[in-house]
A and B are shown apart, each in its own frame.
Chain A
Amino acid sequence: MIEASAKGVLAACDERDISIGECTLREECERSGKSRERLLARMEEMLFAMRASVRPGLSEPLRSTSGLTGGDAFRYHRYCQDGEPLCGPVIASAAAMALSVSEYNAAMGRIVACPTAGSCGIVPAALLSVGEQRGKSDGELVMALFTASGVGELIAQNATIAGAQGGCQAECGSASAMAAAALVELMGGSPRQAFHAAAMSIKTVLGLVCDPVGGLVEIPCIKRNASGVANAILCADLALGGVESYIPFDDTVSAMDKVGRAMPAALRETALGGLAATEAGQRLAQKIKK
């Protein structure tokens, strides 16, 4: 991203009266030297790959490669179809999709890292579930992916998107912020509202640690993808309803960076702290070693 901050992106959006997605696309043309058509086509491939990664876990119970987890996306999806989930149809279907993509990842399925493999369920689930329920076209979803990417680039440039550096706030937190902003623009909200949604999503998971049981991308990663997409939809809704973040996006990202740096190594993907270090976590880790 050529612009270094949300402030800069907003100024560029205001000046040309465009969305964050459009601004990101134009900057990428300039940065990479590739044509607009080529970049749009490439992003459409990402959308198709995301859509293909949602289905397997919903249509049958998947089992992870380690044998540790699986089947929850199928279970929850069936419950949603049979009854009336408390979350309501949008969040419930998004949560089922997020579980599904994450389970597919753990089962060595083909996914799109977004921004990472550990957080790969959040953005696809947000866009595909809202897209389906609100009748959005693939063209609109592709532009929303550019919005998501623009927000992700700002986080990567000013903090980190790696769990080993910044904890889960950097992976699932970043994905939530990307998804929230993308949903706001998909639903016709302004760039300002999109950054408020992104800021609020990060604020709710600031300090979240990365503590995978046995070092594998399963426990608690898969369920954090489900809560991550619920968080994104809620924050997008708040922003669309006119709620603003008192702490602006750029400051939130800077806080995330500092919190990540202050985090002990045990809580940054080493499987030495948090849930990984609990009695149950240790027992599960032992089980897969056999």
Chain B
Amino acid sequence: MGDYGVFDIIGPVMVGPSSSHTAGAARLGEMARSLCGGKISEVTFELHGSFAQTYQGHGTDKALLAGIIGLRPADERLPRSFELADQLGLRYRFVPADLGSVHPNTVRFLIVTEAGEHYSITGSSVGGGNVVITDINGIPVSFTGESPIIVTRHKDTPGVISNITALLYNERVNIGNMRVNRHKTSGTADMYLELDKEIDPSVLEKIRALPDMENVLELRCQPDEF
């Protein structure tokens, strides 16, 4: 038995027709955009399962692209996202794909930013407009938008993790969940941190400036609707 509030029953205000295939898809696009820092020049949407089967009828394609260009799920311009993306000069394509044993409503975003960085982000729309990002650049994660996360890529060497956690400790930010993956061939490791609260951008800059850091991504929670 879950705990439901008034606006879990009445709401959200959303562009139809489906909370999972439209509203959830728009949120996934929005989260992928925010992970890449917002400046995107090219996206390939790999659509899996039910997303691949019914994406045109549900407007899943329009919703995903709307999120990528920064529209919220209730934005009435969402059905015109193709036109708006064209105006921005964004290149995009939709490809049905088999992403393996994942949730039926899953998409993988293959993104190229204006700075030329490549990102691979996978997420699923799990019902009622709720979503979860499950993979960022090959690192398994579980980001639902409720707690902020940080994903780092760094040299696989002693001290890196303690430097990061020390910085967070100084800010009195508690870590709720963490995972480290090492890549033996490249000598690098990835770390996924789920935090109890959002950190100041200056702390993020301090983490970026630490020795042996290659890349730091951050995902903030969605702004509260009211």
Instruction: Mark out the residues of chain B between 40 and 97 whose CB falls within 8 Å of any chain A CB in the assembled complex.
Output: 50, 53-54, 56-59, 62, 74, 76, 78-79
Asked if A228 lies at the interface with its beta carbon under 8 angstroms from chain B, I say no
Interface core residue of B11, B13, B17 (most chain A CB under 10 Å): B17
Q: Across chains A and B, which 4 residue pairs bring their CB atoms closest together, nearest first?
A: A105-B16, A152-B9, A66-B57, A108-B79
A/B interface sample: 13 pairs, CB < 8 A:
A28-B6, A31-B5, A65-B17, A66-B57, A68-B57, A104-B16, A105-B16, A108-B16, A110-B16, A112-B11, A116-B128, A117-B16, A215-B57
Asked if B127 lies at the interface with its beta carbon under 8 angstroms from chain A, I say yes
**Chain B residue, CB-CB nearest to A123:** B10
How many Å lie between the Cα of A178 and that of B6 in the bound state?
Answer: 12
How many Å lie between the Cα of A88 and that of B90 in the bound state?
Answer: 53
Chain B residues near A (Cβ < 8 Å): 1-19, 22-23, 50, 53-54, 56-59, 62, 74, 76, 78-79, 127-129, 226
Interface contact A216-B226, CB-CB below 8 Å = no
What is the 8 Å Cβ interface bit string for chain A, positions 2-31, against chain B (1 contact, 0 not)? 001000000000000000000011001001
Interface contact B1-A158, CB-CB below 8 Å = yes
Chain A residues near B (Cβ < 8 Å): 1, 4, 24-25, 28, 31-32, 38-39, 42-43, 45-46, 49, 64-66, 68, 104-118, 120, 123, 145-146, 148-150, 152-153, 156-158, 161-162, 164, 178, 214-218, 288
**Chain A residue, CB-CB nearest to B9:** A152
Interface core residue of A43, A110, A111 (most chain B CB under 10 Å): A110
Partner of B10, one of A46, A65, A108, A214: A46
A-side interface mostly: helix
Interface contact B74-A110, CB-CB below 8 Å = yes
**Chain A residue, CB-CB nearest to B76:** A110
Interface contact A149-B16, CB-CB below 8 Å = no
Q: Which residues of A contact B12 (CB under 8 A)?
A: 112-113
Interface contact B226-A108, CB-CB below 8 Å = no
A113-B19, A116-B19, A120-B16 known; A65 and B6 CB under 8 Å?
no
Partner of B15, one of A45, A110, A218: A110
Q: Which residues of A contact B54 (CB under 8 A)?
A: 214-216
Q: Which residues of B contact A42 (CB under 8 A)?
A: 7, 226
Interface contact A32-B13, CB-CB below 8 Å = no
